[in-house]
Amino acid sequence: MYKILKKRDLNPVITLMEVDAPRMAASAKPGQFLIVRAHEKGERIPLTICDFDSKKGTVTIVTQVVGASSRQICYLNEGDSFTDFVGPLGEPSEFVHMTREKLSGMRFLFIAGGLGTAPVYPQVKFLHSMGASVDVIIGAKSSSLLIFEEEMKAVCDNLYICTDDGTAGRKGLVTEVMKELLEADRQQKENQHYKCYDHAVAIGPMIMMKFVTLAAKPFGIPLTVSLNTLMVDGTGMCGACRVTVGGKSRFACVEGPEFDAYQVDFEEAMRRQTMYRSIETEADHNCKLGLH
C-alpha cells in the first residue's frame, strides 16, 4: 500500500499529497507521470508527477476535484493509502538526457496552465539545478486557483502570472504574455549580449496547449507539449491514448506524454478526450492528468 504521508489543500479544490513510494521516488524523472487507484473498484487514473524525493522515498501529486474519480482521491487523508500507485510511466523530458555543460548555456520558457503548473515544477527545478536559465508563465482562471507560485519563484529566473479575471498578476491569457516575451526575444536577435529562448514547453489543458502552439509557431521556437490523453493501463497495452503526431498514430503513454507541439493533431486529441464523457456523468477525464 502507498501511504499518504502529507496532505495539504492548496485551495478549496486542489490538493497536494506526498505519497510513500520508494521505488518510484528513486526512478522518477521530470516529464513522467503515474497512475493511481483510490480504492478497490476505482479507475486507473493518470496523474502528473509533481515532485519526488529519492532520499525520503516519496512522490508528490496534485489533484483537482472535477469529478467522481478525482474527488475519491481528494477525500483520502494523511495516513490513508492508495490501493495502487504505479510508475514512473512515459518517457522523461528530452532535456533530461542532456549534459550539465549543454544545459547551463540554455534558456527555457515554460507555459503552465492551471493544474499544469504541477508537472512544470519538477522540470523547472531540474533545469535550474543543471544551471539552465528558466522563465515561467503561469496562467489560471483566478488567483484562488494559482498553485506553486512560491515554489516556482525559488527555481526560476522570471515568473509571470496571469489570470482570466485579473485577480492575480496580469489579466489575460498565457498566450499574450508568451507572445510578448517571444517578440522581445526577436527584437534582440542581433544583440550578442542577449540570450534568446532555446526551447519552450507548454503544459495545461489541451485547448490551452493548442492555442500556445498556434501562437508560438510564427516565432519558430521549438515547443514541447505534454498530452493528457485517456489511458487505462498506461503501459502501451490498450491504445486508448493514441494521438496523431506528424501524421502517425502514437501512444502517448509509452512514446509520450511529451511531443513536438507543431506535429500534434490537437483537434483529434481533444475529440478523443471526450470519448467516455457521455457515459460518465460525473468523472471528467480532463482531470486525469490533473490539468484542468
Partner 1 sequence: MRNKIPRVPVREQDPLVRATNFKEVSYGYDSQEAMLEASRCLNCKNPLCVPACPVSVRIPDFIREVEEGNFAKAAEIIAQDSSLPSVCGRVCPQESQCEGACILGIKGEAVAIGKLERFVGDWSRENGVKFTDKAPLNGKKVAIVGSGPAGLACATDLAKIGYDVTIFEVLHEPGGVLQYGIPEFRLPKESVVKTEIENVKALGVKIETNVVVGRTVTIDSLMDDEGFSAVFIGSGAGLPKFMNIPGENLNGVVSANEFLTRNNLMRAYDPSYDTPIYVGKSVAVVGGGNVAMDAARSALRLGAEVTVVYRRTEKELPARVEEVHHAKQEGIVFRMLTNPVEILGDEKGWVRGLKCIRMELGEPDSSGRRSPVPIPDSEFDIESDVVIMSLGTSPNPLIASTTKGLDTNRWNCLVADENGQTSRKGVFAGGDAVTGAATVILAMGAGRKAAAAIDDYLKEI
The answer to whether 238 contacts partner 1 (rule: CB under 8 A) is yes
* Smallest gap from residue 85 Cβ to partner 1 (A): 6
The answer to whether 210 contacts partner 1 (rule: CB under 8 A) is no
Contacting range for partner 1; rule: CB under 8 A; set: 46-54, 129-137, 146-154, 233-241: 233-241
Contact string 31-70 vs partner 1 (x = CB under 8 A): -x----x---xxxx-----------------------xx-
* Smallest gap from residue 181 Cβ to partner 1 (A): 34
Out of 87, 116, 122, 290, point to the residue binding partner 1 (CB under 8 A). Answer: 87
Beta strands in 164-292 (DSSP E): 170-171, 199-203, 223-226, 242-245, 248-251, 258-260
* Smallest gap from residue 167 Cβ to partner 1 (A): 35
**Region of residue 160 (phi > 0: left; psi between -120 and 50: alpha; otherwise: beta):** beta
In degrees and rounded to multiples of 5, residue 214 shows phi and psi of -60, -40
- Closest to partner 1 by CB, 22 vs 222, is 22
* Binders in 241-280 for partner 1, by CB under 8 A: 242-244, 249, 254, 268, 271-272, 274-276, 279-280
Q: Break the chain down into helix, strand, coil percent, rounded to 5.
A: 35, 30, 40
The answer to whether 84 contacts partner 1 (rule: CB under 8 A) is yes
Q: 20 has which bridge partners?
A: 58
Residue 189, burial from CB neighbour count under 10 angstroms (0-12, 13-18, 19+) = exposed
CA distance 91 to 71: 28
- Closest to partner 1 by CB, 5 vs 68, is 68
CA 14 vs. chain centroid, Å, equals 15
CA distance 241 to 70: 19
Q: Cell 501524421 maps to which residue?
A: 247
SS3 75: helix
The answer to whether 288 contacts partner 1 (rule: CB under 8 A) is no
How many residues touch partner 1 (CB under 8 A)? 40
The answer to whether 237 contacts partner 1 (rule: CB under 8 A) is yes
Chain positions contacting partner 1, by CB under 8 A: 23-24, 27, 32, 37, 41-44, 68-69, 83-89, 232-233, 235-240, 242-244, 249, 254, 268, 271-272, 274-276, 279-280, 283
